[in-house]
Structure 1
Amino acid sequence: MSASPDEADTEIRTLLANQRFDLVMIGGAIRAFPDHTLLFEHIINAVIEAAPRNSILLQHFPPRPPSTPSTEHPHPCELRLVEMTVLG
């Protein structure tokens, strides 16, 4: 996903218009870093408007400095759209 709020908004709306997802997971660093506030607002608004019935999961892991390599946490601007199947 783009780090540009306007581009991210368009990408999210396109994905949600073309596929059904049960959950939208937003990486913790999108919300945790003040520089990403506008991006976070665009993501939330796009999800609510494009797929109002979707659940939104906000990750709460402590953000790592961007220069620290790690495979444990997703990219700071990662957004995951998850298809879930409920068994029962």
Structure 2
Amino acid sequence: MDEPTAREPASVAELAQVRAWTVTASKGWWLTAERTVDVHGRRWVVGLTPTAGGATALMLWCDDVVVSHRRGPERALCGLAAHWVTNLLAGRPWEAG
């Protein structure tokens, strides 16, 4: 996984600054971050959640089917999540370069 560029969010706190992202928290810690993108009649959901051991999980659903799942550092996965959303909004495949 590549490190995010200066334009990509490096944390869930940065994602939360974008109105389209929904971040839930409890006792000062984030629990989930989600962004829904409706494209060409399909509903995509990009989601992040912390995991045991300090890693972060990134999931991508299309119409309620999980199409991708990654684990890694929050910084890298927030950048990747933003990249997936950018691709989907641009009409490109989510995993495109």
**TM-score category (smaller protein):** under 0.3
* More strand by percentage: 2
TM-score by length of 2: 0.26
Greater RCO between the two (CA within 8 Å, min separation 6)?
Answer: 1
| TM-score (structure 1 length as normaliser) | 0.27
Structure whose CA Rg is larger: 1
Structure richer in helix, relative to its length: 1
